Structure 1
Amino acid sequence: MRTHPLKSAIAVHWREHASLYVFVIVLFLMGVIFGAIVVNSLGFSQKQDLYYYLTQFFGQVSKDNIASAHDMFRQSYMHNVKYTALMWVLGISVIGLPIILVLLFFKGVVVGFTVGFLVNQMGWRGFLLSFVSIMPQNLVAIPLMIVMGVISISFSLHMVRNQFMKRPHGSMFPMVMRYAAAMAAVALGLLLSSAVEAYLSPALMKQAVQWTMSLIIMNMI
């Protein structure tokens, strides 16, 4: 039974970069943990200010007073593509390798801080809100960013070996084209992430906000 070329290519890519994937995933998880820890280091007034803006936002969500789905899709997609494109450019620059690691770590910090703050301030209701507002799109975006990070790091390391270790090598053009194709594939995949964030997450968030607010009112009665 013949193996599909795409599955074969993915299997080869995984075997060649498994250790790098483990390193990047651990780095990202460390960022998540660090972001959650930062929440506990905030002062009372800082937490109160953030919580005020958060409740204002959730109030707007419950009233459908938010940006249009089209605008949210465009903003989300541009943000994610710029983030991954920056890693792509840093991979070509060679000296940008440490910054790629910082970007992956920082992405984990943002996710960890957001979830940690919601849970810290709202308990299980915060966990529910983070589950419906943060997780859906990030289930697509984060793996794609990790893949792009690994490919960028691998490309950068290959450039270092070729430039500084004087190893014989042929034309760089095919490798650069594969690198560009990887970026195009990730950019295509991010369309799904942005679509989820713009069209699915707001609806889920609205239902979760209305449900939690009704529970709060019931507990006050």
Structure 2
Amino acid sequence: MARGLKRICKSSLREGWPIYLLALLTFAAGIGVGCWGVRGLDSEQVKQLVLNLDQFMYQADKLMLDRSSMVRDTVTNNLIYIGIIYLLGLTVIGMPVVLALLFARGFSLGFTISFLTKEKAGEGIMLAFTSVVPQNVLLIPAILLASVAALSFSWLLIKRFLNSRLPVLPGLIGYHMLIVIVCCICIAAGLVEAYVTPELIKATATFLK
């Protein structure tokens, strides 16, 4: 089974590398624009954001969190996001929207990390690693995988339109299997965000006081 899965992955990379490249470039472009976007903030916006961040960090170690509610909210948000990508992948016109969502996620990540490191220097790097990185280690690969799967299946539908003999069912089954795997990863990311990230933020806030 492992050999079969490895063979499928190699075949997918060999035949669909342009889609993988497109997804990665779109996400990377989002990160780049997000980093650049921090420079577009005026002094008042920066001052307000820094003030909000300082207030949050001052109170972070005293926050009482409802873990079950956090898990429910984070997992639900993650699954809704993946669900939207999944539905878009079932249509041809959804391809540009999938790329837009991927770009937006990259922008958000790039903006957050860039702002923290630019305004807080070393402290910002610590905050980025404790508040942003833990869940995104799982979530970002999951989103990339879902986006690639959606783009690939949409492309398959286009080829099917041009060649009515091209089978769609194997691709549809593979698409659903990948989405199920992605959903499992997103659930794990939600658990990390609810149980691991807050503790890391509290520890960082205590250390930086």
| TM-score after normalising by structure 2 | 0.93
The residue number in structure 1 matching 2:165 is: 169
**1:8-23 → structure 2 map (5 Å cutoff):** 8-23=7-22
Correspondence for 1:187 among 183, 187, 192:
183
The residue number in structure 2 matching 1:42 is: 41
2:187 corresponds to which letter in structure 1?
L
Distance in structure 1 (CA, Å) of the matches to 2:13 and 2:195: 32
Counterpart secondary structure, 2:90: helix
Structure 1 runs of 4+ aligned residues shifted over 3 Å read 170-174
Q: Does 1:119 pair with 2:84?
A: no
The residue number in structure 2 matching 1:6 is: 5
Distance in structure 1 (CA, Å) of the matches to 2:119 and 2:145: 33
1:132 corresponds to which letter in structure 2?
T
Correspondence for 1:199 among 192, 195, 207:
195
Q: How many angstroms does 1:68 deviate by?
A: 1.8
The root-mean-square deviation of aligned C-alpha atoms, in Å, is 1.7
Q: How many angstroms does 1:9 deviate by?
A: 2.2
Given that residues 162 and 169 in structure 1 are in contact (C-alpha distance below 8 angstroms), is that contact kept between their aligned partners in structure 2?
A: yes
Q: How many angstroms does 1:22 deviate by?
A: 2.1
Q: How many angstroms does 1:8 deviate by?
A: 2.4
Q: Does 1:210 pair with 2:206?
A: yes
The residue number in structure 1 matching 2:59 is: 60
Of stretches 198-207 and 69-78 in structure 1, the one that deviates more from structure 2 is: 69-78
Q: Give the gaps of 5 or more residues in structure 1.
A: 214-221
The structure number with the bigger radius of gyration is 1
The residue number in structure 2 matching 1:32 is: 31
Identity %: 29
Distance in structure 1 (CA, Å) of the matches to 2:168 and 2:19: 22
Distance in structure 1 (CA, Å) of the matches to 2:16 and 2:56: 41
What is the aligned length? 209
1:107 corresponds to which letter in structure 2?
R
1:142 corresponds to which letter in structure 2?
I
Post-superposition Cα deviations, 1:169-200, rounded to whole Å, max 9, x if no partner, equal 25534432322222111101112111111111
Distance in structure 2 (CA, Å) of the matches to 1:173 and 1:6: 18
The residue number in structure 2 matching 1:89 is: 87
Correspondence for 1:110 among 108, 111, 131:
108
Distance in structure 2 (CA, Å) of the matches to 1:135 and 1:91: 27
The residue number in structure 2 matching 1:146 is: 144
1:136 corresponds to which letter in structure 2?
P
| TM-score after normalising by structure 1 | 0.88
Q: How many angstroms does 1:154 deviate by?
A: 0.8
Distance in structure 2 (CA, Å) of the matches to 1:14 and 1:148: 15
Counterpart secondary structure, 2:72: helix
